[in-house]
Amino acid sequence: MDSVLKQISSVDSEVLAEYKENVMVGGGSPGPCLVSGHGIRVNDLNGNSYIDCTSQSWALYLGHTNKEIQECVYEHMNKLSHVHQGFDSQERASLAHKLASLAPKHLNRVSFTVGGGPAIEAAMKIAMKNVPNAQTFINLWESYHGCTLTTAGASWTSTKSAGKYVGPSNYFLPNLNTNFVRVPNPYCYRCYFDQKCENCNMKCLEMLRHTLDMGAPGRVAGIIVEPIQASGGQIPLPKKYVQGLREICDEYGCLLIFDEIQTYCRCGEFFAANYYDVEPDIIVLGKALGAGFPIAAIIIHDRLKGFDMDAEELHTFANNSVSQVAALKQIEIIERDNLLENTRNVGAKIANGLREMQKTYPEIGDIRQVGLHIGVEMIDPATGAPLDVATAAELKSTAMYKNGLILGTGGYKKHVLKIKPPMITTMEEADEILEKFEATLKMVLRKG
């Protein structure tokens, strides 16, 4: 074994505790020390095994340690690794070409960057470049677009979170280049306008129009939305709403920007734009794009001016050929193994299983599923209010430490349990996830 790997693998719990004194972590849900993983499962330092329904920040569509990705990347790394973004590379051109062929018809130019937040900022630059004198952006309540100084201002974490202000609110600089104005999101389960889905007349879209007319300072460059709000509570935007957004952007001359950092492939289509049948002006990608290797991107509409070669968008690691190769290999596997279809089928199976459970557990208030984007909104059945934060946290930790199931939590009140395993999850593994989920509900809610 390589000497460094040998040294790392000798770090036991005691040494870990000592070394951890040197580590500074600024967020995320705490979890055990992971040492290995394969497929949808991971193992910790103490020998416990878990089914990973978070795909580690939703970034591993093919699960842990996919052999084909490894072999392809290893072969490539014998040839080339890091490339300065000014230089051409076959890998970058090939990935851009492939993404353009999968994206909606008029989105054909790709700019790569290093992470989701910077990719959102790249999209904002393109919007400001194309909508003259406009620096304002509109985004939705309960949205999450990153943690950089700019994007934090567009994320729900910079507003009150479960009743208190947390980290990003400390760094919220309202006049840092841009200005985010938020509008109420179409959260149909708890509609902010007291509408019922059956006869909703889209008051949320009306409020967006009012905001464009009267609430947004200066010209609006773009409306940024996650087509399926992820971190904010797994809230899919209704089709009617997304189609309305397109009309409004055309009418007001601002750009429609889809943050597809979490929807890319996971929604059961390559892009949520396809799922909604709406062509945005810019699509933003990140997270799982590189099969676990860091890479992010934006894809822009043909009619837009792109970046110029004058340091408008320049990043050291914006042309990492290793991540690009991994991204391409992942797309090949997704196409070859029909993983989009698998995502739709396995997602539907899990949602059906949850609906069955709902009959026994009225604490399951709402089940929201598109592909393997699954959110379970937990409530107090007596009042319909969000389940209290402590019980929601207990559900998550019991799932992890007693039942070997890593879940995410989301939502303003942290009461939405997120089930988002890798796209390779099988029907049998879906049954296992459901069993572990139900066992958790029984232990925490029925003390069984």
Q: How far is the CB of 293 from ligand PLP (least distance, A)?
A: 13
Choose the binding region for ligand PLP from 86-94, 131-139, 225-233, 275-283 (rule: CB under 6 A). 225-233
Q: Which residue's Cβ lies closest to ligand PLP?
A: 116
- Residue 139 binding ligand PLP, by CB under 6 A: no
Q: How many residues bind ligand PLP (CB under 6 A)?
A: 14
Q: Does 286 bind ligand PLP (CB under 6 A)?
A: yes
**Interface residue with ligand PLP, options 55, 161, 262, 403 (CB under 6 A):** 262
The minimum distance between CB 357 and ligand PLP, in angstroms, equals 27
Which residue stretch of 112-120, 301-309, 345-353, 405-413 sits at the interface with ligand PLP (rule: CB under 6 A)? Answer: 112-120
**HEC assignment per residue over the chain:** CCHHHHHHHCCCHHHHHHHHHHCCCCCCCCCCCEEEEEECEEEECCCCEEEECCHHHHCCCCCECCHHHHHHHHHHHCCCCECCCCCCCHHHHHHHHHHHHHCCCCEEEEEEECCHHHHHHHHHHHHHHHCCCEEEEEEECCCCCCCCCCHHHHCHHHCEECCEECHHHHCCCCCCCCEEEEECCCCHHHCCCCCCHHHCCCHHHHHHHHHHHHHCCCEEEEEEECCEECCCCCEECCHHHHHHHHHHHHHHCCEEEEECCCCCCCCCCCCHHHHHCCCCCEEEECHHHHCCCCCEEEEEECCCCCCCCCCCCCCCCCCEHHHHHHHHHHHHHHHHCCHHHHHHHHHHHHHHHHHHHHHHCCCEEEEEEECCEEEEEEECCCCCCECCHHHHHHHHHHHHHCCCEECEEECCCCCEEEECCCCCCCHHHHHHHHHHHHHHHHHHHCCC
51 makes contact with ligand PLP (CB under 6 A): no
Minimal distance in Å, beta carbon 230 to ligand PLP?
A: 5
Name the segment binding ligand PLP (CB under 6 A); options: 72-80, 143-151, 184-192, 423-431. 143-151
Contact call for residue 368 and ligand PLP (CB under 6 A) = no
Q: Which of 39, 63, 104, 117 binds ligand PLP (CB under 6 A)?
A: 117
By beta-carbon proximity to ligand PLP, the closer residue of 286 and 422 is 286
According to the binding rule CB under 6 A, does residue 168 interact with ligand PLP? no
User: 85, 136, 231, 330: which one contacts ligand PLP (CB under 6 A)?
Assistant: 231
Residues 37, 115, 371, 422: which binds ligand PLP (CB under 6 A)?
A: 115
- Is residue 142 a contact point for ligand PLP (CB under 6 A)? no
Q: Which residues bind ligand PLP (CB under 6 A)?
A: 115-117, 120, 144-146, 226, 230-231, 259, 261-262, 286
